[in-house]
Amino acid sequence: STPSLLILPGDGIGPEVMAEVRKVIDWFGDKRGLKFEVSEDLVGGASYDVHGTPLTDEAMEHAQSVDAVLLGAVGGPKYDVLDFSVKPERGLLRLRKEMDLYANLRPAQCFDALADFSSLKKDVVAGLDIMIIRELTSGVYFGEPRGIFQEGNERVGINTQRYTESEIARVARSAFELARKRGNKVCSMEKANVMESGVLWRQVVQEVHDAEYPDVELSHMYADAGAMQLTRWPKQFDVIVTDNLFGDLLSDLAAMLTGSLGMLPSASLGAPMANGRPKALYEPVHGSAPDIAGTGKANPIACILSFAMALRYSFDKGDEATRLEEAVNAVLADGLRTADLLGQDGAAPVSTAEMGDAVVA
């Protein structure tokens, strides 16, 4: 049956970049016979304006029923005064929580034409294509006990790193499944040398590997050494899987190996559905950029690449995803730049729509 995609454009530049993704989706339908059942709904401030809530129950059910969700961005100064319970961000948080999206995917991908843009040496990043998978729903950000307590005559701040076997196993499976659609290599990072949760993490990842994914190449690394290796020679990695805290740091580090916020896609995946596909929410890393909203300056590539991730990881169309990524690379190689990708050299930037049109062309 036709794969289904729910589009949630959201606020600020969200609808602007999503309009360009629409052109790309139409192109795949017209030129590649790749049809999607596309529906659209409101999220964030856009939903609050109409319904008084950042996500209706209907939109939530809608998201639960499709093969993949693609979201633009939410938020904006207009909504800063709202009560926390109806803030735009709550719409996104509800989606993540109710879909139980425990695996956060952050690629670090270097387009040749932007290799000079990196703070690292060109040969270190040229051709880079790695994926960090961060466990998103457990670990030290959630573990109990937590709090600031009085202990004798001073205060003590406490957080607890806690991982169950099943929490580790399910994110490990996400990593191995993904690796099979990529370079077939996983590196798991923890601190098994000093943390009990790290010891268990390493054991469980190895067990899941040996029982279910012996065909995938698996290695283990301490997370601090991993940070060094990521900046020294990132191309040694394919998929990296790690916990919530280390993943928070390592994914930000890896993303910035390659450049601008306007280029960064992401995905959050949950458990496999009845059809075998994981629950999935794809979105650019950037926010609603109120400072440039309405000016036609937004770079649509992060959102376009988020759709490429959907093609690869939700719709089993890795070849078409590569086709789209190559189109982005070709456009950049032609010298087209939105304002966020320009240095101080005075070249004229292209608009959001011009960039989208160029990718389609």
| Residues that are catalytic | 141, 191, 224, 248, 252
Q: How far is the CB of 196 from ligand NAI (least distance, A)?
A: 33
Coil, strand or helix: which one is 111?
coil
Which region among 17-25, 45-53, 245-253, 341-349 touches Mg ion (by CB under 5 A)? Answer: 245-253
**Dist CA 267 CA 174 (whole Å):** 12
Residues 6 or more apart whose Cβ sits within 8 Å of residue 147: 157, 158
Q: How many residues bind Mg ion (CB under 5 A)?
A: 1
**Dist CA 115 CA 127 (whole Å):** 8
**By the 8 A CB rule, do 252 and 292 touch?**
no
Question: Judged by CB, which is closer to ligand NAI: 138, or 306?
Answer: 306
Q: How far is the CB of 247 from Mg ion (least distance, A)?
A: 9
* CA distance readout (Å), 95 to 84, 173, 246, 310: 16, 22, 23, 17
Question: Judged by CB, which is closer to ligand NAI: 74, or 311?
Answer: 74
Which region among 65-73, 85-93, 213-221, 244-252 touches Mg ion (by CB under 5 A)? Answer: 244-252
Count of CB atoms situated within 10 Å of the CB of 86: 17
Binding site for ligand NAI (CB under 6 A): 13, 73-76, 89, 92, 261-262, 283, 286-292, 298-299, 302, 340
Which region among 240-248, 273-281, 307-315, 327-335 touches Mg ion (by CB under 5 A)? Answer: 240-248
Determine if 283 is a binding residue for Mg ion (CB under 5 A).
no
Coil, strand or helix: which one is 101?
coil
Coil, strand or helix: which one is 306?
helix
Q: How far is the CB of 92 from Mg ion (least distance, A)?
A: 15
Q: How far is the CB of 17 from ligand NAI (least distance, A)?
A: 6
**By the 8 A CB rule, do 110 and 258 touch?**
yes
* CA distance readout (Å), 271 to 64, 125, 166, 181, 232: 12, 32, 12, 17, 34
Determine if 11 is a binding residue for Mg ion (CB under 5 A).
no
Question: Judged by CB, which is closer to ligand NAI: 127, or 294?
Answer: 294
Question: Judged by CB, which is closer to ligand NAI: 197, or 352?
Answer: 352
Question: Judged by CB, which is closer to Mg ion: 41, or 248?
Answer: 248
Q: Is 299 annotated as a binding residue?
A: yes
* CA distance readout (Å), 169 to 175, 209, 219: 10, 9, 16
Q: Is 11 annotated as a binding residue?
A: no
Q: How far is the CB of 230 from ligand NAI (least distance, A)?
A: 23
Q: Is 294 annotated as a binding residue?
A: yes
Adjacent-strand bridge partners of 155: 150
Q: Is 84 annotated as a binding residue?
A: yes
Determine if 248 is a binding residue for Mg ion (CB under 5 A).
yes
Give the residue numbers of the binding site.
76-89, 96, 106, 134, 224, 248, 252, 287-299
